[in-house]
Amino acid sequence: MPEIQTNNLVDRGQLKIQVTSRQRAVPIPNATIEISYTGDPDSVLETVSTDENGQTPVVDLPAPPVEYSMSPSENQPYSEYNLKIHSDEYKPVTISGAQILSGVEGLQPVSMIPEETHTPTEEHPIVIGPHTLWGNYPPKIAESEIKPVNESGEIVLSRVVIPEYIIVHDGPVGDKTAQNYYVRYKNYIKNVAACEIYSTWPRATLEANILAIMSFTLNRVYTEWYRNKGHDFTITSSTAYDHKFIPGKTTYNSINTIVDEIFADYLSRPNVRQPILTQYCDGKKVSCPEWMTLL
């Protein structure tokens, strides 16, 4: 791993893998998963199998010191692992870059395609990109936090609705080649939070940031922001416009539990029905004096 030396992995994190069929989302028992460092994919560290619920046991894996994720650091705060998943009657899946942080349990979803499905024999591996606080992503383009809703022809929901699904455009607004993903609302929030905040942070900090993510997302839903511009999606995965979303991203129990508890909440202003478009930056690589900062 070029960014992190294995001899710095003095702490431990945990990982559980959930394997399901893409056709009906049913659990796949007896799937075999080989785990290796991303920087040394041919050296298998652990081999585990799924139970009747399609889940593996919790696996302990080396991780960097927790301090790396608590404040800005020159050290990568998570370790990265590759997963090779095999199961009879299903096409194999490879995931590169599952991120493990100290002291928290990660949940890695895996969706497998039956062998008889008429798709190419080899699928591209799922590559989990860097965390937004570690990698380089476009900064958010500033917008007003409250959108006008009285313009002629504009469609706006009559009340704030927590959707069951949202459609995520996996790329910039104008990229017509980018794929759209239908994602359950709670799963989308969990994915974004795992991409944009560190799961090691104190609960109050996680909760405040998750609330901001949900408010932003619900503003896009409430105002039908992209549909009113002629698009067929709810939100994008581009950090220039919205939040980072990575298909197949590892999520974490510390984040998932909070989302399950407060998923119907959002921030608003007095006498304003719509959720606030809560914009923020990391406060380190990008300065945003009038917004929330993560660090």
Same domain, 101 and 169: no
What is the rounded distance in angstroms from the CA atom of residue 215 to the CA atom of residue 24? 31
Same domain, 119 and 173: no
Q: What is the pLDDT of residue 124?
A: 78
Last residue of a domain, one of 103, 127, 151: 127
> What CATH number is attached to the domain comprising 26?
2.60.40.1120
Same domain, 174 and 115: no
Q: Is residue 54 part of a domain?
A: yes
Same domain, 120 and 229: no
Q: Is residue 190 part of a domain?
A: yes
Same domain, 16 and 115: yes
Q: Is residue 151 part of a domain?
A: no
Q: Is residue 186 part of a domain?
A: yes
What is the rounded distance in angstroms from the CA atom of residue 38 to the CA atom of residue 239? 25
Last residue of a domain, one of 97, 127, 157: 127
What is the rounded distance in angstroms from the CA atom of residue 153 to the CA atom of residue 264? 28
Q: What is the pLDDT of residue 152?
A: 43
Q: Along the 295 residues of the chain, how does pLDDT read in single tens digits?
A: 444 556 678 899 999 999 999 988 899 999 999 999 999 999 999 999 999 999 999 999 999 999 999 998 899 999 999 999 999 999 999 999 999 999 999 999 999 999 987 665 556 799 999 999 999 999 999 998 888 765 544 566 778 989 999 999 999 999 999 999 999 999 999 999 999 999 999 999 999 999 999 999 999 999 999 999 999 999 999 999 999 999 999 999 999 999 999 999 999 989 888 999 999 765 666 555 555 565 6
**Which one, of 37, 36, 32, lies nearest residue 48 by Cα?**
32
What is the rounded distance in angstroms from the CA atom of residue 238 to the CA atom of residue 70? 25
Last residue of a domain, one of 74, 105, 127: 127
Same domain, 108 and 32: yes
Contact between residue 56 and residue 43 where contact means Cβ atoms under 8 Å apart: no
Same domain, 177 and 288: yes
Same domain, 205 and 253: yes
Q: ∠ CA(145), CA(225), CA(278), 5° rounding?
A: 25
Domain with 266 in it: 165-293
Contact between residue 88 and residue 121 where contact means Cβ atoms under 8 Å apart: no
What is the rounded distance in angstroms from the CA atom of residue 160 to the CA atom of residue 134? 34
Q: Is residue 206 part of a domain?
A: yes
Contact between residue 34 and residue 8 where contact means Cβ atoms under 8 Å apart: no
Domain count for the chain, please give it: 2
Q: What is the pLDDT of residue 9?
A: 80
Same domain, 183 and 70: no
* Structure tokens that stand for 238 in this block: 């581009």
Same domain, 180 and 266: yes
Q: Is residue 68 part of a domain?
A: yes
Same domain, 182 and 123: no
What is the rounded distance in angstroms from the CA atom of residue 136 to the CA atom of residue 130? 8
Q: Is residue 144 part of a domain?
A: no
Q: What is the pLDDT of residue 143?
A: 92
Same domain, 83 and 199: no
Q: Is residue 150 part of a domain?
A: no
Q: What is the pLDDT of residue 116?
A: 82
